[in-house]
Amino acid sequence: MLYYFLVQKEMQLMTGKTENYSWIVARGMNYLHHYSPPIIHRDLKSSNLLVDKNWTVKVADFGLSRLKRETYLTTKTGKGTPQWMAPEVLRNEPSDEKSDVYSYGVILWELVTQKIPWENLNSMQVIGAVGFMNQRLEIPSETDPYWTSLILSCWETDPQSRPSFQELLEKLRELQRKYAVQNQAQRNASAAAKNSIIEE
């Protein structure tokens, strides 16, 4: 599971895979949300993302999932993991698929920072901080602004202001194109420098 690599501090093995993993998870969630009726995961977190020997990620553990038959889904079970849960879920308010988007934002934060969310707070403290004090995880200042913007959009206080997974996939495509151009420019510069040395 993805969480294992975070806990074991083995994220260096995944260098360059952040965009790929983000894309795979978003694509899987987009499929669930476009199912008829839509399936809301409700417990999306890094420990529910399985990583196989080929570094392929799969969304797992649908124990708390529900079919969305109306506009909102309300639950009184109180189950889930606060560190990844949306504010409205922590307050036990009506929620829909946009709550999964918030949880996805926490996973993006994990991939970008290689840290564990709210590591120094217990569950009740997280509920108070996120659910009632509107606090969010700190994003390091050196983080690529594009990732920062993407994560913050998933954490909007108003659930309906958060992007859908379809919109997130489009943004991730833009990010992939951006990195592809940067990587190609770096390869061209490296090749030019090597040719210059050979000619000398």
CA atoms of 94 and 109, how far apart (whole Å)? 25
Structure tokens at 54: 């080929």
Helical residues (DSSP H) of the chain, grouped into ranges: 2-7, 18-33, 87-90, 98-113, 123-126, 145-154, 165-199
- Could you identify the residue written with the tokens 């995880």? 137
Contact yes or no for 129/88 (Cβ under 8 A): no
Q: Based on the residue annotation, tell me whether 100 is a catalytic residue of this protein.
A: no
Annotated catalytic residue, options 43, 52, 61, 144: 43
Q: Residue 67 forms beta bridges with which residues?
A: 39
Secondary structure (DSSP) of 27-56: HHHHHHHTSSS-EE-S---GGGEEE-TT--
Strand 66-67 vs strand 39-40: parallel, antiparallel, or unpaired?
antiparallel
Positions marked catalytic: 43
